[in-house]
Amino acid sequence: MSQSKSSRTGRRQFLKGATAVAGSAALLGQPALAAGFHHSVDDKLRVGLIGCGGRGTGAALDAAGADSNVALVAIADAFPDRVSVGARQLTRAFQEKFGDAAGEKIDLPEERQFVGLDSYKSVLECDVDVVLLTQPPYFRPESIKAAVAAGKHVFCEKPVAVDVPGVLKVLEACQNADGLNIVSGLCWRYDLGVRATMDKIREGAIGELVTIQENYLTGELWHRGNKPEWSPLENQIRNWLYYTWLSGDIPAEQHIHSLDKALWLMDDVPPTRCYGTGGRQKRTEEKYGNVYDHFASCFEWDNGVKCFSYCRQQNGCFNETEDHVWGTQGSAKILANRVSGPNGVWQYEGPKPSMYQVEHDHLFRAIRSGEKINNGDYMCKSTLMAIMAREVCYTGKSISWTELLADKTVLGPASLDEVDYVPPPVAIPGS
């Protein structure tokens, strides 16, 4: 894995420094004018994308489809190949989706394609109104903070951070986001069937809530290989899913969708305590970094409600992604949109537009109307629940919410210049 000094230096420069079209950091700390200046549909809303992967492409298409006068005008990624492939894929996808109108909706000259771990700064310096933050979770807190300081509306994917200090940074930024919209990629909150099912439960269709079971049991995900020309740090960022400091591990990266629904069922009141068990049985090779492949955790609330939560990424096993809810008078399956109570079975039969499109429809409608959406509170609490689920399994301890909030551990290298960074070993509970 070791590299020559000169090649390491070269890599460091290309990783760290955004290709500079404009000077750096000029806008950071200066609340700008975005909000309230786009009430007329004649004003084009300019969008910047940070993280040109699968979700970034989807989010850019959804943003462009959410308003008749939106254009993707800047993109950024850590790696030059991801930016150039991303620009090509985005252009093709826009042409497929919007046909002749694509030219109005995407405008990505090379000088607005940025490369580097700090390339979000260059996007913020472009004249964009909205940023889509779809890079790996580790990088989210700094970019959310900078986007808010620069006066940009934000769409940010989940989770919002990988450790507690990161979440607290995001929370503070969201609390300072006066006049800006912050929309979270916790997309089930925007799914019409899930919203209707939640409404039924909250109206009392299953009586008082007693127990929740959250299942996110699924197969293995991608691995992008390891290349000798990549530094250890670059290998980790390319395969970010498998490093706790980058992804937050399965509870944060994937199962957070389930935990967020448990939080929602509890009126966004966080749990008081959690304990659990987990480990790594199948993905044991070095290339799978230091994450686990299964977790089980039990969340408890002061009113006696418990949430039993399970997530697993192993091939060849029973799979189910569902939220099971039991009350004093019935039960519900949230993703199946079904509620069974004293009045019989209720099944949502309404429209089912893409929740990914709906979240962007809400964001862009709010920007036009002057209404303000700020999903900061629940996206931070759900991320904290995910970190809690991970930490109780990694440590084997029972952790209270108060103890969790006091955790000052910052994951990742002291500096992103540490191209030979070695992440901690796989956590062993009880030690």
Ligand X SMILES: NC(=O)c1ccc[n+]([C@@H]2O[C@H](COP(=O)([O-])OP(=O)(O)OC[C@H]3O[C@@H](n4cnc5c(N)ncnc54)[C@H](O)[C@@H]3O)[C@@H](O)[C@H]2O)c1
Question: Interacting stretch for ligand X, rule CB under 6 A, among 27-35, 77-85, 196-204, 282-290?
Answer: 77-85
Residue 184 in contact with ligand X, rule: CB under 6 A: no
- What would the x/- binding string for ligand X be over residues 32 to 61, using CB under 6 A? ------------------xxxxxxx-----
Please give the backbone phi and psi of residue 221, each rounded to the nearest 5 degrees, phi first: -105, -170
Question: Interacting stretch for ligand X, rule CB under 6 A, among 115-123, 294-302, 338-346, 380-388?
Answer: 115-123
Say how far apart CA 128 and CA 155 lie, in whole Å: 13
Which residue in 125, 157, 323, 391 binds ligand X (CB under 6 A)? 157
Which residue in 94, 139, 155, 243 binds ligand X (CB under 6 A)? 139
Residues 389-408 that bind ligand X (CB under 6 A): none
Which residue in 3, 113, 134, 297 binds ligand X (CB under 6 A)? 134
Q: How far is the CB of 375 from ligand X (least distance, A)?
A: 12
Question: Interacting stretch for ligand X, rule CB under 6 A, among 76-84, 146-154, 258-266, 267-275?
Answer: 76-84
Residue 215 in contact with ligand X, rule: CB under 6 A: no
For 69-116, give the secondary structure using H, E and C.
CEEEEEEEECCHHHHHHHHHHHHHHHHHHHHHHHHHHECCCHHHEEEC
Question: Interacting stretch for ligand X, rule CB under 6 A, among 27-35, 78-86, 173-181, 208-216?
Answer: 78-86
Q: How far is the CB of 359 from ligand X (least distance, A)?
A: 9
Q: How far is the CB of 58 from ligand X (least distance, A)?
A: 8
For the chain, give the secondary structure using H, E and C.
CCCCHHHHHHHHHHHHCCCCCCCCCCCCCCCCCCCCCCCCCCCCEEEEEECCCHHHHHHHHHHHHCCCCEEEEEEEECCHHHHHHHHHHHHHHHHHHHHHHHHHHECCCHHHEEECCCCHHHHHHCCCCEEEECCCHHHHHHHHHHHHHCCCEEEECCCCCCCHHHHHHHHHHHHCCCCCCEEECCHHHHCHHHHHHHHHHHCCCCCCEEEEEEEEEECCCCCCCCCCCCCHHHHHHHCHHHCHHHHCCHHHHCCHHHHHHHHHHCCCCCCCEEEEEEECCCCCCHHHCCCCCEEEEEEECCCCCEEEEEEEECCCCCCEEEEEEEECCEEEECCCCEEEECCEEEECCCCCCCHHHHHHHHHHHHHHHCCCCECHHHHHHHHHHHHHHHHHHHHCCCEEHHHHHCCCCCCCCCCCCCCCCCCCCCCCCCC
Q: How far is the CB of 131 from ligand X (least distance, A)?
A: 11
Say how far apart CA 189 and CA 197 lie, in whole Å: 11
Question: Interacting stretch for ligand X, rule CB under 6 A, among 70-78, 87-95, 327-335, 398-406?
Answer: 70-78
Q: CB-wise, 241 or 367, nearer to ligand X? A: 241
Which residue in 75, 87, 161, 187 binds ligand X (CB under 6 A)? 187
Size of the site for ligand X (CB under 6 A): 26
- What would the x/- binding string for ligand X be over residues 253 to 272, using CB under 6 A? x-------------------
Q: How far is the CB of 237 from ligand X (least distance, A)?
A: 5
Q: CB-wise, 118 or 391, nearer to ligand X? A: 118
Q: CB-wise, 116 or 271, nearer to ligand X? A: 116
Residue 119 in contact with ligand X, rule: CB under 6 A: yes
Residue 136 in contact with ligand X, rule: CB under 6 A: yes
Q: How far is the CB of 221 from ligand X (least distance, A)?
A: 9
Q: CB-wise, 136 or 276, nearer to ligand X? A: 136
Q: CB-wise, 134 or 218, nearer to ligand X? A: 134
Output the residue with the shortest Cβ distance to ligand X.
53
Residues that bind ligand X (CB under 6 A): 50-56, 76-79, 82, 117, 119-120, 134-137, 139, 157-158, 185, 187, 237, 253
